[in-house]
């Protein structure tokens, strides 16, 4: 079983996952070619994934066979395992616990070559609904404290399979980055009695220069202190701390802005590898006045070097105002 370990200095948890057990020789050949050919996520190969936990299927088709449009399966090589107790313990100055959690794969389309933003809006809406539905299901497990929804596109962004998919991980701890956002949001709220994200949305809408797109419910912009070229955030314009508060008409507006924002990135950066992560409040929390759920999209177009790792201080060679201008100007078909 994998293990969760806490760095005693800065309090960061890591998953030590020896099941994925890589030997030095696995790292020594640093291949970056795309693997083509056989795909375990394609229709017809359902028996090669663990049994599905959910699917949108054509009538009268059986689970774990073809006929699905969206299919959710446990990850075959999960970073965390769902059986057992967390069993928190100290080893001298160190804290650790069992690697308990859930790790699911959302196969977004049966079409091997299709990409998320180019799916019909009706499909993207269903994917967004599946994210919420699986989140709510996993949140019922009392061992879990946090659920991350994310998508890696392209090998350079860490996607080992090309077939369009997202992932959901349920964790027994709240990750450091989210704790920092909660803390920062709380501090601002205490001083100003307002949500800092709401403030930011207002300021960006007024200034316009980092704005990419907006609709009735959502806005996308390049953040003021963007760490990466073309880093892009999508936020609800209304205050809500948790993704699972999303309601029916908002699936449509979120699907629209997500699709067009990703299309803009594909156009400007020529189908870049990217990571997309949903930042939402921890499971147990009530609606929080100081936190605001949002999506962060980071195209992988630069290499993060020693300076960045060592300091948590990033060098971004493209100002967000420039990124936003390029992205705004795309003519969407």
With contacts defined by CB under 8 A, name the span among 81-89, 116-124, 169-177, 238-246 that binds a second copy.
169-177
> In this complex, which beta carbon is closest to a second copy, that of residue 57 or of residue 237?
237
Which is closer to a second copy, CB of 25 or CB of 248? 25
Binding to a second copy by residue 163, rule CB under 8 A? no
Give the Cα separation of 189 and 212 in Å (integer): 26
Give the nearest distance from C-beta 93 to a second copy in angstroms. Answer: 5
Question: Which residue, 271, 33, 286, 13, is CA-closest to 164?
Answer: 271
Instruction: Please select the residue that binds a second copy; options are 116, 119, 148, 211, rule is CB under 8 A.
Output: 148
Tokens of residue 245, six digits: 């508060």
Q: Rounded to the nearest whole angstrom, what is the least distance from the CB of residue 109 to a second copy in the complex?
A: 19
Distance between CA atoms of 5 and 315, rounded to whole angstroms?
29
Does residue 117 sit in helix, strand or coil? helix
Closest to 108 in 3D by CA, of 133, 71, 65, 67: 71
End-to-end CA distance of the chain: 48
Residues of span 185-204 touching a second copy by CB under 8 A = 185, 188, 196-197, 199-200, 203
SS3 50: coil
- Which residues within the stretch 205-234 sit at the binding site for a second copy (CB under 8 A)? 223-227, 229-230
Tell which one of 31, 32, 36, 190 touches a second copy (CB under 8 A): 32
What token pair was written down for 313? 């201080």
Site for a second copy in 64-93 (CB under 8 A): 79, 92-93
Contact in structure between 131 and 166 (CB atoms under 8 Å) = yes
Q: Which of 103, 112, 163, 165 is catalytic?
A: 165
Residues 107-136 that bind a second copy (CB under 8 A): none
Helix (H, G, I), strand (E, B) or coil at 298: strand
Cα 172 to Cα 82: distance, rounded to the nearest angstrom: 11
292 is a catalytic site residue: no
Q: State the minimum distance, in angstroms, from the CB of residue 257 to a second copy.
A: 19
Q: How far is the CB of 94 from a second copy (least distance, A)?
A: 5
What binding mask, one character per residue, do residues 297-326 give for a second copy by CB under 8 A, x or -?
A: -xx-xxxxxxx-xxxxxxxxxxxx-x---x
Q: Which residues are catalytic?
A: 165
């Amino acid at each position: 079983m994998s293990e969760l370990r806490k760095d005693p200095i800065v309090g960061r948890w890591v998953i030590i996952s020896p099941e994925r057990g890589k030997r030095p020789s696995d790292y020594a050949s640093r291949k970056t070619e795309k693997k083509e050919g056989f795909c375990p996520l394609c229709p017809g190969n359902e028996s090669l994934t663990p049994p599905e936990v959910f699917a949108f299927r054509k009538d009268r088709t059986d689970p774990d066979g073809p006929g699905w449009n969206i299919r959710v399966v446990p990850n075959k090589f999960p970073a965390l395992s769902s059986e057992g107790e967390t069993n928190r313990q100290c080893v001298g100055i160190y804290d650790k616990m069992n690697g308990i959690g859930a790790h699911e794969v959302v196969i977004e389309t049966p079409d091997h070559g299709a990409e998320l933003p180019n799916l019909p809006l009706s499909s993207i809406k269903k994917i967004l609904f599946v994210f919420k539905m699986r989140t709510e299901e996993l949140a019922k497990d009392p061992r879990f404290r946090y659920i991350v929804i994310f998508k890696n596109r392209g090998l350079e962004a860490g996607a080992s399979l090309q077939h369009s998919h997202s992932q959901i991980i349920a964790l027994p701890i709240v990750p450091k980055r989210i704790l920092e956002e909660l803390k920062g949001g709380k501090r601002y709220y205490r001083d100003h009695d307002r949500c800092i994200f709401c403030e930011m949305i207002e300021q960006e809408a007024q200034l316009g220069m980092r704005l990419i797109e907006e609709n009735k419910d959502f806005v996308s912009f390049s953040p003021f202190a963007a760490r990466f070229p073309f880093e892009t955030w999508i936020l609800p314009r209304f205050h809500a701390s948790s993704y699972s508060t999303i309601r029916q008409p908002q699936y449509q507006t979120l699907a629209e802005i997500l699709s067009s924002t990703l299309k803009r990135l594909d156009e400007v950066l020529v189908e870049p590898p990217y990571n997309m992560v949903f930042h939402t409040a921890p499971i147990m929390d009530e609606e929080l006045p100081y936190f605001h759920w949002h999506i962060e999209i980071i195209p992988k177009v630069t290499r993060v070097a020693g300076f960045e790792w060592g300091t948590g201080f990033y060098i971004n060679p493209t100002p967000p105002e420039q990124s936003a201008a390029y992205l705004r100007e795309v003519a969407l078909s």
